[in-house]
Amino acid sequence: MRNPFERYRGYSSEFWFMIFAGFINRFGMVIVPFMSLYFLKGAGFSVHQTATILGTAAASAIAGNLISGYLCDRYSPRLMVVTTLTASALSAFLFFGPPHFEYLLLTTCLFSFSNEAFRPAQLSYISELSNFKEPKKAFALIRFASNLGLTFGPPIAGLLILSSYRWIFFMDGFTSILAASVLIYSWKNKLTFRELIKPKSATSKKFQLRDFYVSDPLLWVFLLAMFLVFSILFQYTATLPLFISDTLKLSAAYVGAALTINTLMITIFELPLTTSTLHWSYRKSLTLGSALVGIGFAMTMLSHSFAMLAASVVVWSAGEMVVCPPLTAFVTEIATPEMRGRYMGFFGMTISASLTGGPFFGLLGLNHFGNQAYWLILGAFSFLAMGLFLVALQIRKNRLNFNAYESSVQTLS
């Protein structure tokens, strides 16, 4: 197999520093996976109090994506990447404060806001550094770095918790500062602080609330399809563990083993797969990936042993590897230059919404429909997502044809 990193020759050192910073940030992003456990076991909150904090934090995460996307267009993704990393570090250190409900509610909202605000800033910055050429390839690399960090960070954090929860607060905050420092170092002798904070001339107008909104039907159809796909994928955080423990009667260790299959597959195979399928059309990648995700989760209803469940995880993990890199690349390509940050903000908002809504409605659906019907319904939703992707691609094709027609008319005139 050809070395996938050979395709990345010629990228700037600043691009590689951003990839490294992304790895550091994800390696240290350990508060989120253990947040519920800390509130319930460490702080001694009730289930209702914990749910209230997590629900409010989800709303903060959505707001963080939208505001960060807007600010990336008004100022610079460079500025927003460092600002969000610094804010995330400071809010992580706030968890060292008293374990009172009101205090941790506010702290978690601040942390979720800044933590998610990093996403559109990072994606916009990667787009710029790759000169918008082969965005699928660039985003595959940042996914590889992020998943590599997530593979090693949380297990280390799990060991640190045995001593004290305070260690994960320190680890999260310290790695955010380290990632920001790496980026600042990469800009050494390249730009001044005044240049960094200077607003873009095209967007230095007075702020208006409607500036947050993107009135592009192509984007919204695409995001709806994406919401369905991610809502299905995020069942691994809620209904899949419940199926393993309640239906298969297996311990929590098997939940970890199933998720490890997913993480290892993505870490080992996604980058080579993406670089070898760069010539695939969006139609092929999005429809095939969505179908594999749906088929994989539908196979769960046939699982009567962990071996059969592992086979289903392999299928939907393959779908995730096929469908995820093109999603970010497509949004980058359809965005206008002056609104790329906002497009990425709505992209991040969709992921945050599906991370919250997917497990919530999944648990309700599993309870209402039961095991057999529920997993089939997930499969059906994946084919609905396929249909919406095809609609979005047709809208894009019509738009490109119209633009080409207008251009030819102007040339003739």
Q: Which of 8, 382, 59 is nearest to 228 (CA)?
A: 382
Please state, rounded to an integer, the average pLDDT across all residues of the chain: 86
Q: Can you list the domains of the chain with their CATH numbers?
A: 11-199 (1.20.1250.20), 213-413 (1.20.1250.20)
Write out pLDDT tens, residues 155-176: 888 888 888 888 989 999 999 9
CA distance 180 to 131: 22
Can you give the pLDDT at residue 212?
A: 59
- The residue that leads in pLDDT, 309 or 213, is 309
> How many Cβ atoms sit within 10 Å of the Cβ of residue 262?
19
The answer for 2, left when phi > 0, alpha when psi is -120 to 50, beta otherwise, is beta
- The residue that leads in pLDDT, 413 or 332, is 332
Q: Is the pLDDT of residue 234 over 60?
A: yes
Burial (CB < 10 A; 0-12, 13-18, 19+), residue 246, is exposed
* CA-atom Rg of the chain in angstroms: 22
Contact yes or no for 161/33 (Cβ under 8 A)? no
CA distance 206 to 319: 44
Tokens of 204: 């230095």
Write out pLDDT tens, residues 271-287: 888 888 888 999 999 99
Determine phi and psi for 34, rounding to 5 degrees. -110, 10
Q: Which residues contact 245 (CB under 8 A, 6 or more apart)?
A: 251, 252, 255
* Average pLDDT of the segment spanning 237-259: 82
* Average pLDDT of the segment spanning 198-214: 60
Contact yes or no for 349/65 (Cβ under 8 A)? yes
Q: Which of 319, 275, 281 is nearest to 297 (CA)?
A: 319
Q: Residue 385 has what DSSP assignment?
A: H
Write out pLDDT tens, residues 126-153: 888 877 567 778 888 888 888 888 878 8
Q: Is the pLDDT of residue 402 over 70?
A: no
Q: Is the pLDDT of residue 202 over 70?
A: no
Write out pLDDT tens, residues 324-360: 989 988 998 888 878 888 889 999 999 988 988 888 8
